[in-house]
Structure 1
Amino acid sequence: MRATAAVLLVLCLLAVGHAWDCQPVVDIKNLMQIDAGLGQVVATNTSQIPYYLVGNEWIRLPGSLKHITVGPAGIWGVNKADSIYKYVAGNWVQAAGSLKQLDAGGDQFVVGVNINDTPYCRTRSATVGYKGPDSPFPWTGLPGAVKYNSCGPFGCWQSTRMIIST
C-alpha cells in the first residue's frame, strides 16, 4: 500500500512539475474551434476554414467545416449542414449521418451529438476501416441527451443538458 502511494505521489509531482508552454494562436484570424490528439492539432475559424498544424505553421485544409477533430480515429469534421466527413488521402469523404459535433479522441472510435442532442458512437472497426461511401458505417445511438462529447485515452465524457423546472 505504501509503495503504491509513493509511486502515485512521484507521478503527481512529475505531472505538476511539467511546464506547459501555452501560446496564443495568432496565425488564424477569428479562431472558432481547436482540437488536439496524437500530437496533431486541427482548427477552424469563424469563416469555417479548416486548418492543420505542421510544425509552427497552420496549413489550410480543403473544404468548409464548422467543427473538426483529430485523434486515433483520424481527422473528422462536420460542415454547416451537419454532414459528417473523414479526411482520407488528402480529401474529405462524406460519411452517412448528421451530427452537429463529433470527437475522434477515443481508442479508434468516433462519438458525436446530433441536432436533437442525442449522443452517438461509431465502433472501432467501422471507424478505422472507413474509406468512403461504400464502407459500412453504422452509428449506435446512446441513451440521454448531451451538448458535447469528448473522448481520450481514459474514456469518454459528455456535457449534459441541464433542465431546470420551476
Structure 2
Amino acid sequence: MAMKRILFLLADLVLLNAQLCTEIPNPGLLKQIDAGNGLVVGLEPTGNAFMLNGEDWLYLAGGMKHVSAGISGIWMVDNDNFIYRLIGGNLEKVSESFQQIDAGGDLFVAGIKSNHQSVCLSSADFLTMKPSSLVTWSNMDRELKYLTCGLNGCWGVNSADAVYFRIGIEPHRCQGNRWDYIAGTFSMVKVGSDGNVYAVKKGGEVYHRVGITDSKPSGTKWMKVNSITARAKDLAYDLNVLWLITQDDKILRCQM
C-alpha cells in the first residue's frame, strides 16, 4: 500500500510538471522572444516584430533583427544595424552600428555594437533623450555576442559560450567596475527584472541560476530545470513566467 501511495505521488508530480508549461498561439515562426516590465515581444525570421497582447500578437515593425522589452521600454535593432525605441507607437532612431540591444536595466539600456563591444546608456542620458539627439554610450570593456541586464547587474556571453557577470553596475554608472567569469558554458543567458537568471545550453537544456542575493548578485551555481523537458532555442523571463521558443518552433509559457 505504501508503494502504491508513492507511485501515485510520483504520477501527480509528473502531471504537475507537465502542466507547468502551456503552448500559446504563434504569430508565425519566431526566432527570438524577450520579456520585461510586463511586456512580451517576439521576432520572426522575416524581421517582423510583434508584442503579445492577451492571446494576440500585435505587429510593431518590419525589417528588424533584434527586439527587447524591459523597464526602459521596447527597443529594436534593424537589418542596417540602427537601433530604435518605440515611443507612442512610433519608432525613434537612436544610434547606428549595433547588433543587439537590451532594455532590461534599471532605467539604463545596454547593447552590443557591430564590432562585438559591449556598451550601455546611463539612466541620466536615457531619461533626458530627445528625438534625433546624439547619445553617449559608455564602454563596458568586453567583446560579447549577447548581453542582458536586470536590477542586480548585467550578464554577458561571448563567442565561445563563456559567461560573465558585470560587477558594480548602477543606473547612473551603467558601465560597472569589472567582469567576473562564471563557470559553465551557455549559448544564451537572460535575466529578469526581478534578478532571476535563466540560461540555455547548446543542446537546448534550460538552467536556473540559484543563490542570487544582494551580497552575491551573481549567485552560487547553475541548476538544470528538470521540469522543463522541451529543448529551447531562445527564452525570456518576467513576472514568474519563463517564455520559451522550442527547437520545434513552439512558444511555451511556463509558470515558475
Give the TM bin, normalised by the shorter chain. 0.7 to 0.9
Task: Name the amino acid aligned to 2:152.
Answer: F
Distance 1:82 1:25 in 2: 30
Check 1:79–1:20 CA distance in 2 against 1; reply closer, same or farther (3 A cut). farther
**Structure 1: gaps of 5 or more residues:** 1-18
Question: For the structure 1 residues 96 and 115, does the alpha-carbon distance in structure 2 shift closer, same or farther, using more than 3 Å as the test?
Answer: closer
TM-score (norm 1): 0.79
- CA–CA separation in structure 2 for the residues paired with 1:128 and 1:73: 9
- Pairing 1:51-130 to 2, within 5 Å after superposition: 51-130=50-129
What is the alpha-carbon distance in structure 1 between the residues aligned to residue 91 and residue 146 of structure 2? 23
What TM-score, normalized by structure 2, do the two folds share? 0.53
Q: Secondary structure at the match of 2:32?
A: strand
Does residue 28 in structure 1 map to residue 27 in structure 2?
A: yes
Of structures 1 and 2, the one scoring higher in RCO (CA 8 A, sep 6+) is: 2
User: Residue by residue, what CA displacement relative to the aligned partner does 1:2-21 show, whole Å, maximum 9, x if unpaired?
Assistant: xxxxxxxxxxxxxxxxx984
Instruction: For residue 142 of structure 1, give the secondary structure of its aligned residue in structure 2.
Output: strand
Find the partner of 2:146 among 120, 145, 148. Answer: 148
Contact 1:63 1:92 in 2 (8 A): no
Conserved 8 A contact 1:149-1:157: yes
CA RMSD in angstroms, aligned pairs only: 2.2
* Superposed displacement of residue 25, structure 1: 4.5
Aligned amino acid, residue 59 of structure 1: L
Q: Distance in 1 between matches of 2:48 and 2:33?
A: 12
1:49 aligned partner, one-letter code: N
* Aligned partner of residue 125 in structure 2, secondary structure: helix
Greater fraction of residues in helix = 1
Q: Secondary structure at the match of 1:125?
A: helix
Q: Displacement of 1:65 after TM fit?
A: 1.2
Distance in 1, matches of 2:33 and 2:153, equals: 20
Aligned positions, number:
145
Q: In structure 2, give the amino acid aligned to 1:155.
A: G
Residues 133, 20 of structure 1: alpha-carbon distance in 2 compared, 3 angstrom cutoff: farther
Instruction: For residue 141 of structure 2, give the secondary structure of its aligned residue in structure 1.
Output: coil
8 Å CA contact 1:104, 1:111 repeated in 2: yes
Between the aligned residues of both structures, percent identity stands at 33
Q: What is the CA-CA distance between 1:149 and the residue it aligns to?
A: 0.3
Residue of structure 2 equivalent to 1:4:
none
Structure 1 residue identity aligned to 2:121: R
Q: Deviations over 1:106-154 (max 9, x none)?
A: 10111111122110101112223334103x4111122121110001122
